[in-house]
Structure 1
Amino acid sequence: MTEQATSLWGARFSSGPSPELAALSRSNPSFFRLSPEDIAGSRAHARELARADVLTADELARMLQTLDMIAADVAAGREKPKASDEDLHTFHERLLVERLGPLGGKLRAGRSRNDQTANNTRLYLRRTARRLAKLILTVQDALAAQAMSHVETVMPGFTHLQPAQPVSLGHHLMAHAQSLSRDIGRFIDWDRRFDRSPLGAAALAGSAFARDTESSSRDLGYGRPCENSIDAVASRDVVSEFLFVTAMLGVNLSRLSEEICIWASRQFAWVKLHDSYSTGSSIMPQKKNPDIAELTRGMSGTMIGNLVGMLATLKAMPLAYNRDLAEDKRALFETIDLLDLILPAFAGMVATMTFDTERMAADAPRGFTLATEVADWLVRQGVPFSHAHEISGATVRYCEERGMELDGLTEADLPKIDAALTAEVLEVIDPARALAERFGQGGTAPVRVREQIAAFTEICKVQWAWAEQGLSGIALTPLAGAAA
Structure 2
Amino acid sequence: MSQKTWGGRFTVSTDKRVELFTESISFDQRLYKHDIRASQAHARMLGEVGLLTNDEAKKICEALNEIGETIEAGKMEFRIELEDIHTHIERALIERLGDLGRKLHTGRSRNDQVVTDVKLWTREAIDQLDKDLAEVQKAFLVLAEKSKDLVLPGYTHMQRAQPILAAHYCLAYVEKFQRDRDRLQDCRKRVNILPLGAAALAGTSLPIDRHSVAAQLEFAEVARNSLDVSSDRDFTLEFLYCLSNIAIHLSSWAEEWIFWASTEFDFLILPDAFCTGSSIMPHKKNPDVLELTRGKTGRVIGHLQHMFITLKGLPMAYNRDLQEDKPALFDSFDTVSLSLQVAAPMIVETLFKADRITARLEDGFLDATTLMEYFISKGVPMRSAHEAIGNLVRECESRKCRLAELPVEKFEDILPGHGPGVFALLGVQKSLTSFRSYGSTSPTEVQKQLDYWNELFQAPVESKPETSAKLKKRKKK
User: In percent, how many aligned pairs have the same letter?
Assistant: 37
The answer as to 2:281 corresponding to 1:287 is: no
How far apart, CA to CA, are the structure 2 residues paired with 1:458 and 1:303? Answer: 33
Alignment of 1:356 onto 2:362:
no
Match of 2:447 in 1: 450
Say which of 433, 446, 455 aligns to 1:436.
433
What is the SS of the residue equivalent to 2:152?
A: strand
Question: Which one of 297, 301, 304 corresponds to residue 304 of structure 1?
Answer: 301
1:358 aligned partner, one-letter code: D
- From 393, 403, 406, give the equivalent of 2:403: 406
Instruction: Write the distance in 2 (CA, Å) between the matches of 1:305 and 1:457.
Output: 36
Q: Is the 8 A contact 2:147 2:352 kept in 1?
A: no
Amino acid at match of 2:263: R
Q: Is 1:106–2:121 an aligned residue pair?
A: no
Moved more, 221-230 or 74-83: 74-83
Equivalence map 1:2-151=2 (5 Å): 6-151=3-148
SS at structure 2 position matched to 1:432: helix
Higher mean Cα deviation, 405-414 or 63-72? 405-414
Tell me how far 1:368 sits from its aligned partner: 1.1
* Corresponding position of 1:315: 312
Is 1:345 aligned with 2:342?
A: yes
Alignment-derived partner of residue 220 in structure 1: 217
Normalization by structure 2: what TM-score?
0.93
Cα contact 1:200–1:211 (8 A) shared by 2: yes
Kindly indicate whether residue 168 of structure 2 is the aligned counterpart of residue 171 of structure 1: yes
3-state SS of the aligned residue for 2:58?
A: helix
Work out the CA distance in 1 between the residues paired with 2:305 and 2:279.
Answer: 36
In structure 2, the residue corresponding to 1:267 is in which secondary structure? Answer: coil
1:236 aligned residue: 233
Instruction: Give the stretch that moved more between structures: 189-198 or 355-364.
Output: 355-364
Offset of residue 435 of structure 1: 2.0
Task: Give the AA of the match of 1:391.
Answer: A
Which of structure 1's runs of 4+ aligned residues deviate more than 6 A? 469-472
SS in 2 for 1:49: helix
1:275 equivalent to 2:272? Answer: yes
Taking the aligned partners of 2:77 and 2:11, their CA distance within structure 1 comes to 30
AA aligned to 2:106 is: A
Q: Deviations over 1:19-45 (max 9, x none)?
A: 111111111412110001100111111
Matched position secondary structure for 1:166: strand
Structure 1 residues not aligned, in runs of 5+: 473-484
State the 1:79 CA deviation. Answer: 2.5
- Return closer, same or farther for 1:323/1:223 CA change in 2, 3 Å cut-off: same
Of 308-317 and 400-409, the range deviating more from structure 2? 400-409
Taking a change above 3 Å as real, the CA distance of residues 471 and 122 of structure 1, as seen in their structure-2 partners, is: farther
Kept in 2, the 8 Å contact 1:168–1:444? The answer is yes
Matched, 1:202 2:199: yes
Q: CA distance change for structure 1 residues 83 and 324 in 2, over 3 Å: closer, same or farther?
A: closer
Partners in 1 of 2:8 and 2:204 — Cα distance?
21
**Cα deviation, residue 247, structure 1:** 0.1
Deviations 1:141-180 (A, max 9, x none): 1001111222321111111111111111110111111101
Larger RCO: 1 or 2 (CA < 8 Å, sep 6+): 1
2:400 equivalent to 1:387: no
Look up the SS of the partner of 1:107 in the other structure.
Answer: coil
Query: For 1:368-395, what per-residue CA distance to the aligned partner results, in whole angstroms no more than 9, with x for missing partners?
Result: 1111122122223332222222221111
Report the equivalent of 1:481.
Answer: none
* Displacement after TM superposition at 1:411 (Å): 3.6
Q: Which residue of 1 aligns with 2:475?
A: none
How many Å separate the matches in 1 of 2:261 and 2:77?
47
Task: Quote the Cα distance in structure 1 between the aligned partners of 2:87 and 2:449.
Answer: 53
Residue 266 of structure 1 corresponds to: 263
Q: CA-atom RMSD, angstroms?
A: 2.2
Cα gap change, 1:173 to 1:95, in 2 (>3 Å): same
Aligned residues: 468
Equivalent residues of 2:48, 2:54 under 8 A apart: no
CA–CA distance in 1 between the matches of 2:418 and 2:400? Answer: 20
Residue 73 of structure 1 aligns to a residue in which SS?
Answer: helix
Deviation at 1:239, TM superposition (A): 0.4
Map of 1:476 onto structure 2: none
Deviations, residues 188-233 of structure 1 (Å, cap 9, x unaligned): 1111222210010111111233621111011111012111111112
Superposition TM-score, scaled by structure 1 size: 0.92
8 Å CA contact 1:411–1:423 kept in 2: the answer is: yes
Displacement, 1:111?
Answer: 1.0
Answer yes or no: is the 8 Å Cα contact 1:48–1:210 preserved in 2: no
CA-CA distance at 1:459 after TM superposition = 4.2
